[in-house]
Structure 1
Amino acid sequence: KTVDVAPERLIGIGVGLAGVIDSTVGVCRVSPHNGWRDVPFAQLLEDRLGCLVYLDNNVNSLTLMEQLYGAGQHARDFLVVTIGRGIGMGIVANGQVYRGASGGGELGHIVIEPDGFLCNCGNQGCLETFVAEPWQVKRAQLKGLKVEAPEDLLAAAHAGHPVAINVLERAGQLLGQAMANLVNLFNPELIIISGEGVRAGEFIFPAMHAAMHRHTFSQLGDDVSIRIEPLSDDAWARGAASLVLNKFFSVPELE
């Protein structure tokens, strides 16, 4: 959408971008989906638009929105996991969005099967190659199912096709294993699952919950709440806007 607003009326522009983002300098270090490396994205936009630009990973921006205005408002330690074109994760630890040294939270690229399919990132057997929606479709195609899009795969599952159901349940199982590892590592009080992929939740989530329960250490799994939130384009936009609002209303640190 195009908005007719003079740059001087803007306090800033927020951008959430998939990939490894160094938010401190506004640089996209790596974006496999776009084929970018070390792109000074914020500066390029500032030069073009004439106002401040705040850049972060798209799931980090969504996580910030959940912390400020959404389901994470009352949680000090929580995670946001997104399922869609890729698999993303945002981390809030002790009330702060955790970004690592120069970008982190790449849940989709933990290795599940070292000799598996080649991922867009250049590694093999990433979680994303099982759980991300395009890969669900690809795996179903390789098993002989004639589907072209995630909607086709979900329709086949609703029709009772065993291949479609198996692909979605396998995605859920591996997602659950990954989430058990997250619980064991971070001990969050809340995990928010969002993204376009939640539309297949009736097939994915039972297997996810079972695997998560099976692999979580001791009572840590009993202490975490799981919240499913369908995602719209507006949520991504609110996440990007949250980057600007959070910066604008933050209190400067005293030296």
Structure 2
Amino acid sequence: MQPRVNSAAIRRLNTIRVFHALRENPNCAQRDLSRLTGLDKATTSAIVTQLLDDGLVERTEPPRPRRIGRPETALSIAPSAGLLVGARLEPGTIRIVTTTLAGAVLEQAQIPGSTDLGTALRRLHEGIDAAVAASRRADAEAPPVRGIGVGIPALMDRSGRLVLAPNLGWRDTPIRPLLEEALGARVQIDNDTKAAAMAERLFGACRGVEDFAYLTGHSGVGGGLFLGGRLYRGAQGFAGEVGHVTVVPGGRPCGCGKRGCLETYVSEPAILAQAGERGRTLPDLWAVAAAARDGDAAVRGVLEEAGRHLGFALSHLVNLTNPSLVVLGGNLSIVAELILPTLRAALDEHTLEPLRRDLRLLVSPLGPDAVPMGGIALAMEGFLSAPEPIRGILLP
């Protein structure tokens, strides 16, 4: 039998290609879109016409001198086309970001989190309502919310079910329907680090990079893998749990029930606890970084040990997957410059030389906002991939 062509899916994929080309190349001429996407002129024209009709794209005067002949207009994602909301759900904090449909940040907010599920969902709803209201203050037209994405430090299966969140104390929870009931809207949800890796691919240091590893640290430590240009999830969706690689057999107890996991030495709570054991009571990683820069030997020792453990775990990841780039993000970016010397030394010691030779290490330009921006990436993907993405307005 001849395979059937799903023309609607092809149109949707082509629309996504044109959208991202415009997002990355604002004020782009229509003829340039054909070159950027590889689509023929007729297909590009039909998609642009639809995007214009639906108010997602607008024509503007080009920022370059006009050529002789018929004047050419530029195309951009319309700022009034809608809002996206991204959130990071952590035990201690909930971080929320709102952006335009093109991903330009409008508002950022941080509110207290909770390990009580009902309390966390209520605070998330209140925080999103406040952030959206603040984003709309200067816009009389009140652009609609087009998508909501949430990153959670948890094992998430492919259906969006939370299997285990050790640091939140949640297990086997239908988190997607609970979020959608609490927020009254469709929600895209994923593991926080996978979401952050998507943000790096769309907005950060990994645009155009086919094979990279992303590591982040907040309440735990997570990893996201892009292999061959695609986010690698594994058989059940759990791939990338580098925080639970054993770095000290029989070492510190972990919330997952094991001992000696990487995150018991490298996560923010672990670093603060170890600093406290050495007589340094500090409120957060910003204070840890400041103390280390001021020459506090005890704090520097904690960070140097964290770098060694992270480099050891990362060497296994590099030996197995051979990425061209490793990005340190989330709260790891706050202390990156202080842990990189011992991290690099451990990588050099434990990684095969041909794999280490051309490996680049970068600190995420998205910093601690990588996960909420990952929520933006999830929201954007959900909106564009919906059967009727153009008309899919979620909230008034």
Q: TM-score, normalised by structure 2?
A: 0.59
SS in 1 for 2:190: strand
Q: Distance in 2 between matches of 1:226 and 1:14?
A: 28
Contact 1:13/1:244 (<8 A) preserved = yes
How many equivalent pairs are there? 249
Match of 1:200 in 2: 335
How far off its partner does 1:231 sit? 4.3
Equivalent residues in 2 for 1:1-255 (5 A)? Answer: 1=127, 2=130, 3-4=132-133, 9-22=144-157, 24-100=158-234, 101-229=236-364, 231-232=366-367, 234-250=369-385
Q: Distance in 2 between matches of 1:79 and 1:208?
A: 15
Offset from partner CA, 1:135-186 (integer Å, 9 cap, x none):
1221222234444543443333223232211111111111111111111010
Whole-angstrom CA distance in 2 between matches of 1:128 and 1:64? 22
State the TM-score, normalized to the length of structure 1.
Answer: 0.88
Which 10-residue stretch deviates more, 213-222 or 154-163?
A: 154-163
For 2:322 and 2:195, locate their aligned partners in 1 and report how far apart those are by CA, in whole Å. 22
State how far apart, in whole Å, the 1-side matches of 2:185 and 2:275 are: 46
Cα distance in structure 1, aligned partners of 2:308 and 2:184: 47
Q: Give the Cα separation in 2 of the matches to 1:241 and 1:153.
A: 29
Select the structure with the greater relative contact order (CA < 8 A; seq sep ≥ 6): 1
Is this contact kept in 1: 2:162–2:171, CA < 8 A?
A: yes
Residues in 1 aligned to 2:379 and 2:277: alpha-carbon distance in whole angstroms: 44
Over 3 Å counting, the alpha-carbon distance change for 1:149 and 1:88 in structure 2 is: same
Give 3-state SS (helix, strand or coil) of 1:249's partner. helix
Identity of aligned residues (%): 37
Please say if residues 77 and 190 of structure 1, whose CA atoms lie closer than 8 Å, have aligned partners that are also in contact: yes
| RMSD (CA atoms) | 2.2
Assess if the C-alpha contact under 8 Å between 1:80 and 1:194 holds in 2.
Answer: yes
Question: Which runs of no fewer than 5 residues in structure 1 stay unpaired?
Answer: none
**Could you tell me whether the CA contact under 8 Å between 1:77 and 1:93 is conserved in 2?**
yes
Q: Which amino acid aligns with 2:211?
A: D
Please say if residues 151 and 189 of structure 2, whose CA atoms lie closer than 8 Å, have aligned partners that are also in contact. yes
